[in-house]
Amino acid sequence: MLNLLIVEDEKNIAKLTADILSPLFNEIFYANDGVNGFNKFKKYRPDIVICDVLMPVKDGLSLAKSIKEISPNTPIVVISAHSDKEKLLKAIDININKYLIKPIIPEELIATIKSIISNMSKEIKLGQYKLDLIRSIFDNTINKIELTKKELALLKALSEPIGKVISLDDIKEICWGTKDVKDGSVRTFIKRFRDKIEVDIIKNITSTGYKIILND
């Protein structure tokens, strides 16, 4: 099943949202402001994000923009107490998947999330190989290999889009949720991951980072 991140500074609304949606998700993470929300997104890499617009420290639209910059395919639902035209236009510009107005109607929220889940890409094709996002499995055409959360997060990031170079610092944020990781630890992790998936598609770009290169 999928994981959800709820970013909402009002605890009662966050709890209500979680209670409504808990049957649809394996795990639900919480944050009470945009900065904390972004840190938790980088740490847990949830499949869907729900966030309020008006929050302390970093507002919901700024959070959504930051998330879309590092994970453009992650669905985001923004919830607001206002139908402000300027905010709606900004949400469209950021490529928000859905903009809901408070008070939350449970049936509408459930229908929105179910629609997003049904339209989510559950599989990424990497040439002849396949990455199953739901079951965390990499299919190298010979073996189906179960991935850890870090491995899935890395491969997913490298495939958005294929050929995009991901720096060491970005990999630290994506896989560990912090830049406080030694470069050598990242390189060792990637080397072991390459050996594990049994195909040579993750390439080092000297002094830049890593990217996927397909030969077919």
Q: What is the 3-state secondary structure (H, E, C) of the chain?
A: CEEEEEECCCHHHHHHHHHHHHHHEEEEEEECCHHHHHHHHHHHCCCEEEEECCCCCCCHHHHHHHHHHHCCCCCEEEEECCCCHHHHHHHHHHCCCEEEECCCCHHHHHHHHHHHHHHCCCEEEECCEEEECCCCEEECCCCEEECCHHHHHHHHHHECCECCCECHHHHHHHHHCCCCCCHHHHHHHHHHHHHHHCCCCEEEECCCEEEECCCC
Instruction: Write down the mean pLDDT value for the chain.
Output: 88
User: 33 versus 133: which is more confidently predicted?
Assistant: 33
- What range defines the domain where residue 30 resides? 2-119
CATH code, domain with 171? 1.10.10.10
Are 75 and 171 members of one domain?
no
pLDDT, residue 84, reads 63
Are 70 and 86 members of one domain?
yes
Q: How many domains does the chain have?
A: 2
Are 108 and 131 members of one domain?
no
pLDDT, residue 87, reads 66
Are 153 and 71 members of one domain?
no
Query: Which domain-ending residue is among 64, 84, 119?
Result: 119
Are 69 and 131 members of one domain?
no
pLDDT, residue 114, reads 93
